[in-house]
Amino acid sequence: MRLHLVPLAPLMVLAACVPAPREAPPAPAPPPVVAPPPPAPLATDWRDWPKTPGDWRYRQTPTGSIASFGTSATAPIVSLRCETATRRIALVLPGAISPTVTIRTSTMRRSLPMQGGQSVLAATDPLLDAIGFSRGRFVIEQAGAAPLVLPAWAEIERVTEDCRG
């Protein structure tokens, strides 16, 4: 029997032509995390600040009336509540975080003490008229929170008049 030896050189050349196994390409880098832009600074004049979203709602209660402001009737961010028996109006801020708030109107600026999320005023307090007749808006400011820029709608004066009798 005769053995035929195949020259190895051509086989080695063929083996060199076979590509080596490649590694998988690296995974694409995740997109960079972009922080949201900081809120635009408020204008120097409070009358140019954007209004707080929401609407005023008025309703009668067994003891007086309430004007409440917010995007939801069930969770107002501010209310004016009249107690006709005492002729007092409570400014209620459920989210109050400061012991005082400052009210700015087109004719007046005044700080009010807050206790239990509310400040109580006599129905004859001129601040109530300044709020109700402010030119289009008024502001409630408290330390550590964004200002509330609220429209001066008729519901405010309606509660005030209800309390005055």
Domain boundaries, the chain: 50-164
pLDDT for residue 79: 97
Using 50 as the pLDDT threshold, list the residues of the chain that sit under it. Answer: none
Q: Tell me the CA distances in angstroms from 130 to 2, 107, 110, 127, one per residue in order.
A: 119, 6, 10, 5
pLDDT at residue number 61: 96
The pLDDT of residue 26: 75
pTM for this one?
A: 0.73
Q: What is the pLDDT of residue 27?
A: 74
Q: Do the beta carbons of residue 53 and residue 71 sit within 8 Å?
A: yes
Three-class DSSP category at 11 = helix
Give the sign of the dihedral formed by CA 129, CA 130, CA 131, CA 137. Answer: positive
Look at residue 95 in the predicted model and tell me its pLDDT.
81
Q: Given the structure tokens 């408020």, which residue do they identify?
A: 42
